[in-house]
C-alpha cells in the first residue's frame, strides 16, 4: 500500500507533538541502573566461568542454556535472571576476551628497542596460550564461524590496534633496526605460531611425548620462536 499522506493540519500539529514528547521524556528521565551487589557479581562470574567451559568445547551453536546452568550448578530460571539469552553471555565473554587478547600487543612500545619488544610480545602470547587455552579455543571457534557476533569489534578495535603497531614496525624498519618485511603478516605469523600451542595442545603434547610434553614445552617453544623471528628480522649488512 502507498504511504498515507498527512493532511496540512496534521503536518502543523506534528512538530508540536514531537516537542511535547521530548519535553515529557526530559521531565521523566530513564531510571538509573542500580549497581550490582557483591552476590550478584559473584553469580555472574560463576555463570561466565561455566559458559566459558561450555562454549570452548561445544561452540556457540552447540552450547545451550541448560548445559551452562548445569556446569554453573544453578537452576535454569536462576541463570536466566542474570542473562536472559545465550547471546548475551557469549557477547560478554567475547568482549572480555578480545580486551585480554589485545593487551600484549598494546604493550609493544614504539620507543623501545624492537628486538626486546618483539621477544616480549612472543613470550606474552605464549603465556596466554598456556594460561587461557579455553579462551583461545572460544576465539578460534568464533573465527571459524565467520565472527558473526564480534565482527564489529574486530573491524574497529582490533584493526585500529594492528594498524597502529604496523606503523611502529615500519618505523623500526625505516630506521634500519629491523629487516624489511610486511608488518601485518609478521603480526599474523606471531598470532598463528603462538596460539597453536593452545588450540592444538592435545596434538602438541601427543607428538612431543612424555619426555617433553610438560610445562617446559612452552619455554622450548619460546626459545625456538624467538630464534626464528629474531633471525628473520635481523637486518642484513649491505652488499659491498
For the segment 129-167, what is each residue's pLDDT rounded down to a tens digit?
A: 999 988 888 888 888 888 888 888 899 999 999 999 999
Q: Rounded to an integer, what distance in angstroms lies between the CA atom of residue 137 and that of residue 28?
A: 46
Q: Is residue 11 exposed (0-12), middle (13-18) or buried (19+ Cβ within 10 Å)? A: exposed
For residue 110, pLDDT beyond 80: yes
Q: What's residue 29's pLDDT? A: 52
Q: What does the pLDDT average to over 18-29?
A: 50
- In contact, 58 and 67? CB cutoff 8 Å: yes
Q: Rounded to an integer, what distance in angstroms lies between the CA atom of residue 102 and that of residue 159?
A: 10
Q: What's residue 115's pLDDT? A: 96
Give the residue from 89, 131, 236, 227 showing the smallest Cα distance to 176: 236
For the segment 72-108, what is each residue's pLDDT rounded down to a tens digit?
A: 999 999 999 999 999 999 989 988 888 888 899 999 9
For the segment 175-214, what is each residue's pLDDT rounded down to a tens digit?
A: 999 999 999 999 999 999 999 999 999 999 999 999 999 9
Using the 8-state DSSP alphabet, how is residue 146 labeled?
A: T
Q: Rounded to an integer, what distance in angstroms lies between the CA atom of residue 148 and that of residue 51?
A: 18
Q: What's residue 140's pLDDT? A: 87
The phi, psi pair for 42, rounded to 5°, reads: -65, -40
Amino acid at each position: 500500500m502507498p504511504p498515507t499522506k498527512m493532511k496540512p493540519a496534521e503536518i502543523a500539529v506534528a512538530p508540536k507533538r514531537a516537542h511535547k514528547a521530548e519535553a515529557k521524556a526530559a521531565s521523566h528521565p530513564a531510571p538509573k541502573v542500580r549497581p550490582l551487589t557483591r552476590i550478584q557479581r559473584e553469580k555472574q562470574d560463576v555463570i561466565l566461568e561455566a559458559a566459558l567451559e561450555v562454549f570452548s568445547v561445544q561452540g556457540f551453536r552447540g552450547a545451550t542454556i541448560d548445559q551452562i546452568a548445569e556446569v554453573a550448578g544453578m537452576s535454569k530460571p536462576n541463570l536466566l535472571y542474570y542473562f536472559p539469552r545465550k547471546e548475551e553471555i557469549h557477547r560478554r565473554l567475547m568482549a572480555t576476551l578480545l580486551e585480554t587478547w589485545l593487551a600484549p600487543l598494546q604493550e609493544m612500545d614504539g620507543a623501545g628497542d624492537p628486538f626486546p619488544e618483539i621477544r616480549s610480545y612472543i613470550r606474552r602470547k605464549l603465556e596466554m596460550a598456556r594460561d587461557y587455552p579455553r579462551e583461545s579455543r572460544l576465539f578460534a571457534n568464533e573465527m571459524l564461524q565467520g565472527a558473526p557476533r564480534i565482527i564489529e569489534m574486530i573491524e574497529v578495535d582490533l584493526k585500529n590496534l594492528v594498524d597502529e603497531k604496523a606503523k611502529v614496525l615500519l618505523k623500526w624498519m625505516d630506521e634500519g633496526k629491523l629487516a624489511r618485511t610486511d608488518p601485518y603478516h609478521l603480526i599474523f605469523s606471531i598470532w598463528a605460531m603462538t596460539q597453536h600451542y593452545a588450540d592444538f595442545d592435545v596434538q602438541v603434547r601427543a607428538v612431543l611425548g612424555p619426555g617433553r610434553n610438560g610445562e617446559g614445552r612452552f619455554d622450548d617453544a619460546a626459545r625456538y620462536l624467538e630464534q626464528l623471528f629474531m633471525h628473520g628480522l635481523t637486518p642484513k649488512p649491505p652488499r659491498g
